[in-house]
Chains A and B, each alone.
Chain A
Amino acid sequence: MLKSSHFTIGLASLALSAFLFLFAIPTWVTTPGNVSNVVLSPVFWPYALSGVLALVGAGLLIMGSREIVAAPDDAADAPAHGTEAWMRLGAMAVLMAVYAAAIPRLGMVWASMLAFAAAAFLMRTRHPLPALVSAVAVPLILYAFFAHVASVAVPQGDFVRLP
């Protein structure tokens, strides 16, 4: 038997509310000295929302503590929860970070080609050839549209520039 997801989300909600109240709002929200009324202060709205978050968290906690759910019969789902799935997810996080970082250096088109191919590999595509062709064609077609029709300044990178 397991606690329901309401309980976990309730805990997270309360923790987030406490973090906002005690640290985030005092640190990251600047209040000018001449604020005449607390209701008009820049911190009022975030504090009010943190309060609502705490109330919702308490509600979720109460609801979650009342309902105990059966452990899922997850034999069918088991393969997806393996180490390999977590590794693929981690690799995707790295891929996204590298993709965003590579755009200014490699250019949007070349970075997209590499990211497309890597993502298709991570998704274990059963159609490698169409994936490879698409990895080259899709970024080029999008470049042609955005750069030449929509006049968007698509990043070109430091190496190979496209017309």
Chain B
Amino acid sequence: MSFIDSIMAGLALVANVESFLALAIGVTVGVIAGAIPGMSATMAVALTLPFTFSLAPITGILLLLGVYKGGIFAGSIPAILIKTPGTPASSATVLDGYPMAEKGQAGKALGMALYASCTADLISNMALIMFAGILASFALNFGPPEFFTLILFSLTIIAGVSGDSLLKGIFSAVLGLLFATVGLDLVYGTNRFNFNDPNLMGGLNFIAVLIGLFAIPEILNMVWNPASADGKTRSLGAKWVTFAEYKRCFRSIIRGSLIGVFLGSIPGIGAAPSAFLSYSEARRKSKNRENFGKGEIEGVAASEAGNNGVAGATLIPLLALGVPGDVITAIIIGAFMIHGLQPGPMMFIMNVDIIYGMFLGLIISSVLLLFVGSISIRAFRYVADIPRGVLFPAVMVLCVYGVYAVNNNIFDVGVMFAMGWLGYIMLRANIPAAPFLIAFILGPLLEDNFRQSMLMSGSSPWILARGPITWFFWTVTLITVVAIVRAGVKGHRDARRQRRAAAETRAG
């Protein structure tokens, strides 16, 4: 069957009201769920799965994909408005989105998040269609040593989210790596910092850590100084994002989309590291790099492009190899199986109409996201106008419900509060929380792949440099580290010079 024939077969499958309706409902449900802190896109997809049982395979799959796409985008709404990422993938959006909201530019930030998301989503879908086979076969060559070097490289992105002090960022990251060691040992199954408590044997709940670090410190800050919110409910600003601003951020959006496509096509990496890497690269390359972290619209564009660029690409290993790229695609694979479909190379031969129907549906979902997203921003942005003395208690209650709902476990609520206090101490000490979070995500992956490599090689470290892929990642890691250290030393010298100049001015 030729490419055109395949497209036509797919079109015949999706050119009907049911498919459009499924996508529209899916995107809407995803946007609503993603915008509620604690209701992650993963949870929304999992909750929607039972509703697909009675639908036709393509309709059910499109419904789930719509939820996935909507959920990933909508995580940016609470990230920007209330500094609480709706999904882990939106953690990087907080860095510039929230400062923009505080400056009265929430509408602008949300608009840019939407446009960047839709652009990245479209690019990711196109990449899925064009490069599925090639990229998937590349990722198939990865073994534990390659993954280890890839994750090590990903950890260098910490430098991009460390704020003013690189050492404080590394300190925060090491804390994140340490917290990630809690639970049963990955190889031997023995206790590690879990005190024989069954609640800790599986490690700390990621959602509890995420919400604790990003939402609770804001609530505590409000308690510490209630006067800080007196008389000012954040204005969304009258201005919407302009075409000139979109054009200025276009390079970062494209770069972030491509990063998302690359990382998304590798199973297990996920949207959050992609968003942070995209943000870090945008910051490194931007003319306005000093504004990053203080409300730079390019930062919002880069992080949203990074996380949405993953959405289509995670389907590459799923469809081409039958390997789920992340948790959400693992749930989606369940939907395939319910309908008697087995994702993998044979599906491209046996069910090519469904494959191309999905591809077309995904492109339609990018357009639908633009419409549904625009409406949802206008609906959800009123959250910003709620008095803070009412909003923050509501956020606290919402966080408790959301964290509890992940595992139906009150222990996770305690973890969230504890992490909140840690986050607050870090906030007061000017220690960035983002490196903690990214290290907490990557920690188990890093350790697991390291130990698997050691098991494979009989503890010979040379396996970590066994081929071109590992050499490539070692080289880019080295280059990144050198660049970071140079930038850090330069920044430190500049800061000292400025302090001296200020001291001399005062003395004079």
A128's nearest neighbour on chain B, judged by CB, is B389
Taking the closest CB of chain A, its distance from the CB of B459, in whole angstroms, is 4
A-B contact count (CB 8 A): 186
Complex interface bits, B403-440 against A, C-beta within 8 A gives 1, otherwise 0: 01100101001100100110000000111000000000
Bound CA span A93–B431, Å: 21
Task: List the A side residues contacting B503 at CB < 8 Å.
Answer: 70
Task: List the B side residues contacting A53 at CB < 8 Å.
Answer: 171, 174, 178
Q: Is the CB of B191 within 8 A of A29?
A: yes
Q: Is the CB of A116 within 8 A of B396?
A: yes
Q: Is the CB of B451 within 8 A of A40?
A: yes
Q: Is the CB of B193 within 8 A of A119?
A: no
Taking the closest CB of chain A, its distance from the CB of B105, in whole angstroms, is 25
A138 within 8 A of B: yes
Bound CA span A153–B190, Å: 31
Task: List the B side residues contacting A153 at CB < 8 Å.
Answer: 408
Q: Is the CB of A85 within 8 A of B181?
A: no
Bound CA span A9–B181, Å: 22
Q: Is the CB of B220 within 8 A of A152?
A: no
Bound CA span A46–B414, Å: 24
Taking the closest CB of chain B, its distance from the CB of A45, in whole angstroms, is 5
A15 within 8 A of B: no
B225 within 8 A of A: yes
Task: List the B side residues contacting A149 at CB < 8 Å.
Answer: 47
Q: Using known A-B contacts A100-B417, A119-B396, determine if residue A9 contacts B171 with beta carbons closer than 8 Å.
A: yes
Q: Using known A-B contacts A6-B167, A56-B170, determine if residue A139 contacts B397 with beta carbons closer than 8 Å.
A: yes
Q: Is the CB of B405 within 8 A of A150?
A: yes
Q: Using known A-B contacts A85-B224, A88-B224, A138-B394, determine if residue A9 contacts B408 with beta carbons closer than 8 Å.
A: no
Q: Is the CB of A127 within 8 A of B400?
A: no
B184's nearest neighbour on chain A, judged by CB, is A42
B230 within 8 A of A: yes
A112 within 8 A of B: yes
Bound CA span A80–B224, Å: 7
Q: Is the CB of B459 within 8 A of A59?
A: no
B387 within 8 A of A: yes
Bound CA span A138–B36, Å: 13
Bound CA span A93–B424, Å: 12
Which of B167, B193, B226, B398 meets A28, CB within 8 Å? B193
Task: List the B side residues contacting A70 at CB < 8 Å.
Answer: 503
Q: Is the CB of B393 within 8 A of A40?
A: no
Q: Is the CB of A63 within 8 A of B410?
A: no
A13's nearest neighbour on chain B, judged by CB, is B171
B219 within 8 A of A: yes
B445 within 8 A of A: no
Which of A8, A24, A28, A35 meets B188, CB within 8 Å? A35
Q: Using known A-B contacts A53-B171, A89-B224, A108-B404, determine if residue A115 contacts B397 with beta carbons closer than 8 Å.
A: yes
Bound CA span A126–B408, Å: 35
Task: List the A side residues contacting B227 at CB < 8 Å.
Answer: 79-80, 124
Taking the closest CB of chain B, its distance from the CB of A36, in whole angstroms, is 8
B392 within 8 A of A: yes
Bound CA span A109–B455, Å: 50
Which of A60, A93, A103 meets B410, CB within 8 Å? A103
Task: List the B side residues contacting A28 at CB < 8 Å.
Answer: 191-195
Task: Give the interface size bracket for A toward B.
Answer: 35 or more
B447 within 8 A of A: yes
Taking the closest CB of chain B, its distance from the CB of A105, in whole angstroms, is 11
Bound CA span A153–B404, Å: 10
Taking the closest CB of chain A, its distance from the CB of B255, in whole angstroms, is 30
A162 within 8 A of B: no
Q: Which of A2-25 contact B (CB under 8 A)?
A: 5-6, 8-9, 13, 20, 24
Q: Using known A-B contacts A42-B192, A126-B387, A131-B390, determine if residue A37 contacts B459 with beta carbons closer than 8 Å.
A: yes
Taking the closest CB of chain A, its distance from the CB of B98, in whole angstroms, is 19
Bound CA span A119–B223, Å: 8
Complex interface bits, B478-508 against A, C-beta within 8 A gives 1, otherwise 0: 0000000000000010001001000100000
Q: Using known A-B contacts A24-B193, A155-B410, determine if residue A119 contacts B392 with beta carbons closer than 8 Å.
A: yes
Q: Which of B166-211 contact A (CB under 8 A)?
A: 167-168, 170-171, 174, 177-178, 181, 185, 187-188, 190-195
Bound CA span A112–B194, Å: 29
Q: Is the CB of B224 within 8 A of A152?
A: no
Complex interface bits, A34-52 against B, C-beta within 8 A gives 1, otherwise 0: 0111011010011001001
Q: Is the CB of A123 within 8 A of B393?
A: yes
Bound CA span A125–B190, Å: 49
B250 within 8 A of A: no
Q: Is the CB of A134 within 8 A of B390?
A: yes
Task: List the A side residues contacting B195 at CB < 8 Å.
Answer: 28
19 pairs of residues in contact across A and B, judged by CB atoms under 8 Å? A9-B431, A28-B194, A29-B191, A40-B454, A40-B459, A45-B181, A56-B167, A88-B223, A89-B224, A108-B401, A108-B404, A116-B393, A122-B223, A125-B387, A125-B389, A131-B393, A142-B401, A146-B405, A150-B405
Given A88-B226, A96-B420, A123-B393; 14 other pairs, CB 8 A cutoff = A6-B165, A6-B168, A40-B455, A42-B185, A42-B188, A45-B447, A46-B178, A46-B193, A103-B400, A116-B393, A119-B223, A124-B227, A142-B398, A149-B47
Interface of B toward A, CB cutoff 8 Å: 43, 47, 165, 167-168, 170-171, 174, 177-178, 181, 185, 187-188, 190-195, 219-220, 222-228, 230, 387-390, 392-394, 396-398, 400-401, 404-405, 408, 410, 413-414, 417, 420-421, 429-431, 447, 450-451, 454-455, 459, 492, 496, 499, 503
